[in-house]
Protein backbone atom coordinates (compact mmCIF):
# COMPACT_ATOMS: atom_id res chain seq x y z
CA UNK A 1 0.00 0.00 0.00
CA UNK A 2 1.15 3.53 -0.80
CA UNK A 3 2.90 5.09 2.20
CA UNK A 4 4.48 8.22 0.68
CA UNK A 5 3.07 11.23 2.52
CA UNK A 6 5.91 13.59 1.65
CA UNK A 7 4.83 17.20 1.82
CA UNK A 8 1.49 16.45 3.45
CA UNK A 9 0.24 18.06 6.65
CA UNK A 10 -1.79 15.78 8.93
CA UNK A 11 -3.83 16.66 12.00
CA UNK A 12 -4.12 13.66 14.33
CA UNK A 13 -6.30 13.66 17.44
CA UNK A 14 -5.55 11.44 20.42
CA UNK A 15 -1.92 11.79 19.36
CA UNK A 16 -0.29 11.38 22.76
CA UNK A 17 -1.00 7.67 23.16
CA UNK A 18 -2.31 4.48 21.62
CA UNK A 19 -3.41 4.34 18.00
CA UNK A 20 -3.22 8.13 17.65
CA UNK A 21 0.44 8.25 18.63
CA UNK A 22 1.27 5.31 16.37
CA UNK A 23 -0.48 7.05 13.46
CA UNK A 24 1.39 10.30 14.17
CA UNK A 25 4.73 8.47 14.27
CA UNK A 26 3.92 6.47 11.13
CA UNK A 27 2.91 9.59 9.21
CA UNK A 28 6.04 11.45 10.31
CA UNK A 29 8.20 8.47 9.30
CA UNK A 30 6.70 8.64 5.81
CA UNK A 31 7.28 12.33 5.23
CA UNK A 32 4.21 14.07 6.67
CA UNK A 33 4.25 17.08 8.94
CA UNK A 34 2.11 16.22 11.96
CA UNK A 35 -0.02 18.45 14.13
CA UNK A 36 -0.95 16.26 17.09
CA UNK A 37 -3.90 17.11 19.32
CA UNK A 38 -4.56 15.57 22.70
CA UNK A 39 -6.02 16.31 26.12
CA UNK A 40 -2.60 15.51 27.59
CA UNK A 41 -0.11 18.35 27.91
CA UNK A 42 2.59 15.83 26.95
CA UNK A 43 1.53 16.06 23.33
CA UNK A 44 3.90 18.92 22.49
CA UNK A 45 6.99 17.07 23.70
CA UNK A 46 5.89 13.84 22.01
CA UNK A 47 5.35 15.55 18.66
CA UNK A 48 8.76 17.23 18.93
CA UNK A 49 10.35 13.77 19.18
CA UNK A 50 8.77 12.44 15.97
CA UNK A 51 10.99 11.70 12.95
CA UNK A 52 11.49 14.69 10.68
CA UNK A 53 10.84 18.29 11.62
CA UNK A 54 8.12 20.92 11.86
CA UNK A 55 5.72 18.85 13.96
CA UNK A 56 3.49 20.62 16.45
CA UNK A 57 1.43 19.63 19.48
CA UNK A 58 -1.81 21.19 20.71
CA UNK A 59 -3.21 20.32 24.14
CA UNK A 60 -6.98 20.79 23.98
CA UNK A 61 -10.24 19.29 25.16
CA UNK A 62 -12.06 18.73 21.86
CA UNK A 63 -15.51 18.22 23.36
CA UNK A 64 -16.14 21.97 23.39
CA UNK A 65 -17.66 22.93 19.99
CA UNK A 66 -15.39 25.94 19.53
CA UNK A 67 -12.22 23.96 20.27
CA UNK A 68 -12.09 22.32 16.85
CA UNK A 69 -12.25 25.61 14.96
CA UNK A 70 -9.46 26.99 17.15
CA UNK A 71 -7.32 23.86 16.69
CA UNK A 72 -7.67 23.91 12.90
CA UNK A 73 -6.89 27.64 12.85
CA UNK A 74 -3.71 26.97 14.83
CA UNK A 75 -2.80 24.08 12.52
CA UNK A 76 -3.21 26.34 9.48
CA UNK A 77 -1.11 29.01 11.15
CA UNK A 78 1.83 26.73 12.01
CA UNK A 79 1.72 24.20 9.17
CA UNK A 80 -0.61 25.41 6.43
CA UNK A 81 -3.97 24.01 5.37
CA UNK A 82 -4.12 20.38 6.51
CA UNK A 83 -4.34 17.73 3.83
CA UNK A 84 -5.30 14.98 6.29
CA UNK A 85 -7.37 14.66 9.46
CA UNK A 86 -7.34 11.50 11.55
CA UNK A 87 -9.97 11.44 14.29
CA UNK A 88 -8.44 8.97 16.74
CA UNK A 89 -9.33 10.43 20.15
CA UNK A 90 -11.77 8.22 22.01
CA UNK A 91 -12.79 6.66 25.31
CA UNK A 92 -14.39 3.36 26.34
CA UNK A 93 -16.49 3.47 29.51
CA UNK A 94 -18.09 0.07 29.98
CA UNK A 95 -21.26 -0.69 31.94
CA UNK A 96 -24.19 -3.10 31.67
CA UNK A 97 -26.87 -1.31 29.66
CA UNK A 98 -29.29 -1.13 32.61
CA UNK A 99 -26.63 0.55 34.73
CA UNK A 100 -25.11 3.14 32.33
CA UNK A 101 -25.00 6.45 34.25
CA UNK A 102 -26.16 9.46 32.26
CA UNK A 103 -22.81 11.18 32.78
CA UNK A 104 -20.85 8.24 31.34
CA UNK A 105 -23.23 7.92 28.39
CA UNK A 106 -22.86 11.62 27.60
CA UNK A 107 -19.09 11.60 28.06
CA UNK A 108 -18.76 8.73 25.57
CA UNK A 109 -20.85 10.52 22.95
CA UNK A 110 -19.07 13.83 23.60
CA UNK A 111 -15.59 12.40 23.04
CA UNK A 112 -16.19 9.66 20.48
CA UNK A 113 -18.85 11.28 18.32
CA UNK A 114 -19.26 15.00 18.89
CA UNK A 115 -15.54 15.85 19.05
CA UNK A 116 -14.94 13.87 15.85
CA UNK A 117 -17.76 15.73 14.13
CA UNK A 118 -16.56 19.14 15.28
CA UNK A 119 -13.03 18.34 14.03
CA UNK A 120 -14.29 17.00 10.69
CA UNK A 121 -16.52 20.04 10.27
CA UNK A 122 -13.71 22.51 11.02
CA UNK A 123 -11.17 20.68 8.86
CA UNK A 124 -13.74 20.11 6.12
CA UNK A 125 -14.30 23.83 5.75
CA UNK A 126 -10.65 24.56 4.97
CA UNK A 127 -10.21 21.39 2.90
CA UNK A 128 -13.23 22.21 0.74
CA UNK A 129 -11.84 25.68 0.14
CA UNK A 130 -8.51 24.11 -0.87
CA UNK A 131 -10.23 21.49 -3.04
CA UNK A 132 -8.45 18.56 -1.38
CA UNK A 133 -8.68 16.55 1.80
CA UNK A 134 -8.53 13.13 3.42
CA UNK A 135 -10.50 12.50 6.62
CA UNK A 136 -10.24 9.17 8.42
CA UNK A 137 -12.47 8.51 11.44
CA UNK A 138 -11.61 5.78 13.93
CA UNK A 139 -14.71 3.69 14.46
CA UNK A 140 -14.53 0.10 15.75
CA UNK A 141 -15.80 -3.41 15.17
CA UNK A 142 -18.28 -2.23 17.84
CA UNK A 143 -19.86 -0.10 15.11
CA UNK A 144 -21.25 -3.17 13.35
CA UNK A 145 -21.74 -5.76 16.11
CA UNK A 146 -22.98 -5.73 19.68
CA UNK A 147 -20.52 -6.20 22.53
CA UNK A 148 -21.39 -6.93 26.14
CA UNK A 149 -21.35 -3.81 28.37
CA UNK A 150 -20.59 -1.57 25.37
CA UNK A 151 -23.95 0.18 24.91
CA UNK A 152 -22.53 3.71 24.90
CA UNK A 153 -19.39 2.72 23.01
CA UNK A 154 -21.23 0.76 20.32
CA UNK A 155 -23.73 3.57 19.87
CA UNK A 156 -20.98 6.17 19.50
CA UNK A 157 -18.99 4.13 16.98
CA UNK A 158 -22.04 3.17 14.90
CA UNK A 159 -22.83 6.88 14.75
CA UNK A 160 -19.29 7.56 13.48
CA UNK A 161 -19.95 5.25 10.55
CA UNK A 162 -23.25 7.00 9.80
CA UNK A 163 -21.53 10.39 10.03
CA UNK A 164 -18.79 9.15 7.68
CA UNK A 165 -21.41 8.20 5.08
CA UNK A 166 -23.02 11.64 5.16
CA UNK A 167 -19.77 13.62 5.03
CA UNK A 168 -18.41 11.50 2.20
CA UNK A 169 -21.58 12.07 0.18
CA UNK A 170 -21.55 15.83 0.68
CA UNK A 171 -17.82 16.41 0.26
CA UNK A 172 -16.73 14.01 -2.49
CA UNK A 173 -17.56 16.58 -5.22
CA UNK A 174 -15.32 19.04 -3.35
CA UNK A 175 -12.23 16.82 -3.47
CA UNK A 176 -12.50 15.58 0.13
CA UNK A 177 -12.76 11.87 0.91
CA UNK A 178 -14.08 10.62 4.25
CA UNK A 179 -13.65 7.05 5.46
CA UNK A 180 -13.87 5.10 8.70
CA UNK A 181 -11.54 2.41 10.01
CA UNK A 182 -12.92 -0.22 12.38
CA UNK A 183 -10.37 -2.32 14.27
CA UNK A 184 -10.85 -5.20 16.61
CA UNK A 185 -8.90 -5.03 19.88
CA UNK A 186 -5.58 -3.34 19.16
CA UNK A 187 -2.50 -4.21 21.19
CA UNK A 188 -1.69 -0.73 22.41
CA UNK A 189 -0.41 -0.53 26.01
CA UNK A 190 -3.98 0.15 27.16
CA UNK A 191 -5.37 -2.65 24.97
CA UNK A 192 -2.87 -5.15 26.35
CA UNK A 193 -3.79 -4.21 29.91
CA UNK A 194 -7.55 -4.32 29.31
CA UNK A 195 -7.39 -7.70 27.56
CA UNK A 196 -4.75 -9.46 29.63
CA UNK A 197 -5.09 -13.03 30.86
CA UNK A 198 -7.81 -15.52 30.01
CA UNK A 199 -10.22 -12.78 28.94
CA UNK A 200 -7.85 -11.82 26.15
CA UNK A 201 -6.97 -15.39 25.21
CA UNK A 202 -10.66 -16.24 24.89
CA UNK A 203 -11.23 -13.19 22.70
CA UNK A 204 -8.33 -14.14 20.44
CA UNK A 205 -9.76 -17.62 19.97
CA UNK A 206 -12.96 -16.04 18.64
CA UNK A 207 -11.02 -14.15 15.92
CA UNK A 208 -10.35 -16.34 12.85
CA UNK A 209 -6.73 -15.18 12.52
CA UNK A 210 -6.21 -15.98 16.21
CA UNK A 211 -4.78 -12.67 17.41
CA UNK A 212 -5.49 -8.99 18.03
CA UNK A 213 -4.46 -6.19 15.66
CA UNK A 214 -1.15 -4.40 15.96
CA UNK A 215 -1.05 -0.58 16.11
CA UNK A 216 1.22 -0.41 13.03
CA UNK A 217 -1.30 -2.43 11.01
CA UNK A 218 -4.01 0.10 11.78
CA UNK A 219 -1.66 3.02 11.07
CA UNK A 220 -0.66 1.54 7.69
CA UNK A 221 -4.30 1.21 6.64
CA UNK A 222 -5.00 4.78 7.69
CA UNK A 223 -1.94 5.98 5.78
CA UNK A 224 -3.20 4.24 2.65
CA UNK A 225 -6.61 5.92 2.95
CA UNK A 226 -4.83 9.24 3.49
CA UNK A 227 -2.77 8.87 0.32
CA UNK A 228 -3.45 9.96 -3.25
CA UNK A 229 -3.79 6.39 -4.49
CA UNK A 230 -6.95 5.97 -2.38
CA UNK A 231 -8.75 8.84 -4.11
CA UNK A 232 -11.58 6.56 -5.30
CA UNK A 233 -12.31 5.26 -1.80
CA UNK A 234 -14.80 7.33 0.17
CA UNK A 235 -17.73 6.55 2.44
CA UNK A 236 -16.24 3.19 3.38
CA UNK A 237 -16.01 1.58 6.79
CA UNK A 238 -12.91 -0.61 6.51
CA UNK A 239 -12.83 -3.42 9.04
CA UNK A 240 -9.47 -4.61 10.35
CA UNK A 241 -10.64 -7.39 12.64
CA UNK A 242 -9.11 -10.65 11.45
CA UNK A 243 -12.47 -11.85 10.18
CA UNK A 244 -14.25 -11.55 13.52
CA UNK A 245 -17.37 -9.80 12.22
CA UNK A 246 -17.80 -12.37 9.44
CA UNK A 247 -18.16 -15.28 11.88
Active-site residues, by number, are 153
Alpha-carbon gap, residue 45 to 140, rounded angstroms = 29
The contacts of residue 76 (CB under 8 Å, 6+ apart) are 82, 126
State the burial class of residue 113 (Cβ atoms within 10 Å of its Cβ: 0-12, 13-18, 19+): buried
Classify residue 95 by its DSSP letter.
Answer: B
Residue 142 to residues 94, 121, 148, Cα–Cα distance (Å): 12, 24, 10
- For the CA atoms of the chain, what is the radius of gyration? 17
Alpha-carbon gap, residue 118 to 163, rounded angstroms = 11
State the burial class of residue 239 (Cβ atoms within 10 Å of its Cβ: 0-12, 13-18, 19+): buried
Residue 70: its H or E element: helix 65-79
Amino acid sequence: MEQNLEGRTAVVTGAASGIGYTVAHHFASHGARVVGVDLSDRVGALMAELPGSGHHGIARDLTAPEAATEVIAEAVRVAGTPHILVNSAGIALLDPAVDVPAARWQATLDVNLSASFYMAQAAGRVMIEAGYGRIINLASQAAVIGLDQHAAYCASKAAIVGLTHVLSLEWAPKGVTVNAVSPTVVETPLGKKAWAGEKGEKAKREIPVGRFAQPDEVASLIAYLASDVAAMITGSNVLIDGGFTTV
